[in-house]
């Protein structure tokens, strides 16, 4: 199967299959009765691979981007009712599961949830969306074109302090204050409308020594603007508890992140779910305090050099997985 035929090569595809397989195949090798939520459906690359690998699996896909949903629906059409394409953000998983498109039933539990965070390959490749700093395009960066806030709005209307905060918090940009000052001065002459002018400003503002060693000077600023426009980190913080709570016993959540801010949120939530609530120092778990989850991955896994050579977009990917091992309210420890 060629993901490239649809303009999207799934990142770390084989490893994602390996991580979800034990949850999907608990009842049957083909995934009879199993449901996986692809919470970041995009163009449907991972969903297609899951459906083709497990021939009785149902995948419920969610995406806020209408163009992505159209592409995914076309890509997954051959799987019929096993593929459900739904409008929404990944923090709306609970709402989607109440009435998934085409399933004719609500879902109270699922066997897997997959998050492939950040901007999708399809969005990067659509030049008019403004996600890529390598081409001149309108400063948009909305994952859902129906949202109102754009990257241009952030640049043209935020105060110096708010703009510096966004660049520092979401882009981890060392020169956030300097860039904010330059933006405020430049927008007095005329508002920012396209990415080329912003990139030119960043080249002029960030010191040459940093430009030589720190990667493309626009990378952090574009990341920060995109996260601000789409509320990505707040959505992730809200989405993870719902994804974990929806898992059946033996179900798994797999998260693929592409920058440290996302990965930190995932690491913290997973660690909290795997921690006992018994007071420290006791020789046994108190009843009802044992962890309901266990980590599947040790730390964050990365793509192999072979995959990075074949698909450079996999280079920053970090994968973490967690499994539910007990229901909420289960008794733990020695009775």
140 is an annotated ligand-binding site residue:
no
Q: What DSSP string runs through 285-310?
A: PPTT-S-SEEESSSS-B---HHHHHH
Q: Are the CB atoms for 139 and 130 separated by under 8 Å?
A: yes
98 is an annotated ligand-binding site residue:
no
Q: Residues 207-215: contacts with CB within 8 Å, 24+ apart?
A: 207/175, 210/174, 210/175
In sequence order, which ranges of 63-159 are alpha helices (DSSP H)? 66-76, 93-98, 121-125, 151-157
In sequence order, which ranges of 159-313 are alpha helices (DSSP H)? 160-171, 176-189, 195-205, 208-213, 219-230, 232-245, 260-273, 305-310
How far is Cα 160 from Cα 262, in angstroms, rounded to an integer? Answer: 25
DSSP designation for 316? T
Phi, psi of 288 (to 5 degrees): 80, 5
242 is an annotated ligand-binding site residue:
no
Q: Which helix (H) or strand (E) holds 248?
A: strand 247-257
116 is an annotated ligand-binding site residue:
yes
63 is an annotated ligand-binding site residue:
yes
Distance (Å) of CA 293 to CA 146, 244, 245: 37, 9, 10
258 is an annotated ligand-binding site residue:
no
160 is an annotated ligand-binding site residue:
no
Closest CA to 39 of 99, 103, 86: 86
- The annotated binding site for S-adenosyl-L-methionine is made up of 44-46, 63, 90, 116, 123
- The annotated binding site is made up of 44-46, 63, 90, 116, 123
């Amino acid at each position: 199967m060629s993901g490239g035929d649809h303009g999207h090569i799934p990142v770390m595809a084989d490893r994602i299959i390996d991580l979800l397989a034990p949850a999907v195949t608990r009842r049957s090798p083909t995934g009879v009765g199993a449901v996986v939520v692809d919470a970041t459906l995009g163009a449907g690359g991972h969903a297609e691979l899951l459906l083709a690998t497990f021939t009785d699996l149902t995948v419920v896909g969610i995406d806020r981007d209408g163009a992505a949903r159209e592409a995914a629906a076309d890509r997954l059409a051959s799987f019929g009712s096993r593929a459900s394409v739904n409008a929404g953000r990944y923090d709306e998983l609970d709402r989607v599961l109440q009435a998934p498109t085409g399933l004719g039933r609500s879902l109270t539990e699922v066997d897997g949830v997959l998050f492939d965070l950040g901007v999708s390959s399809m969005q990067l490749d659509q030049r008019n969306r403004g996600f890529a700093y390598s081409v001149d395009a309108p400063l948009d960066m909305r994952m859902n074109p129906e949202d109102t806030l754009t990257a241009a709005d952030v640049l043209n209307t935020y105060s110096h302090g708010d703009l510096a905060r966004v660049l520092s918090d979401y882009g981890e940009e060392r020169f956030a204050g300097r860039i904010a000052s330059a933006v405020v001065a430049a927008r007095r002459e005329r508002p920012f409308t396209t990415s080329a002018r912003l990139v030119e400003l960043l080249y002029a503002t960030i010191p040459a020594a940093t430009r030589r060693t720190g990667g493309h000077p626009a990378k952090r600023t574009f990341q920060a603007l995109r996260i601000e426009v789409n509320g990505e980190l707040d959505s992730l913080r809200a989405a993870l508890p719902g994804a974990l709570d929806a898992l059946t016993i033996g179900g798994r959540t797999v998260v693929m992140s592409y920058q440290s801010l996302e990965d930190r949120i995932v690491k913290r939530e997973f660690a909290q779910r795997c921690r006992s609530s018994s007071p420290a120092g006791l020789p046994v778990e108190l009843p009802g305090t044992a962890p309901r989850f266990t980590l599947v991955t040790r730390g964050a896994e990365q793509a192999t050099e072979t995959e990075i050579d074949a698909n450079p977009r996999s280079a920053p990917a970090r994968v973490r997985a967690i499994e539910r091992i007990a229901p909420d309210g289960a008794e733990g420890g020695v009775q």
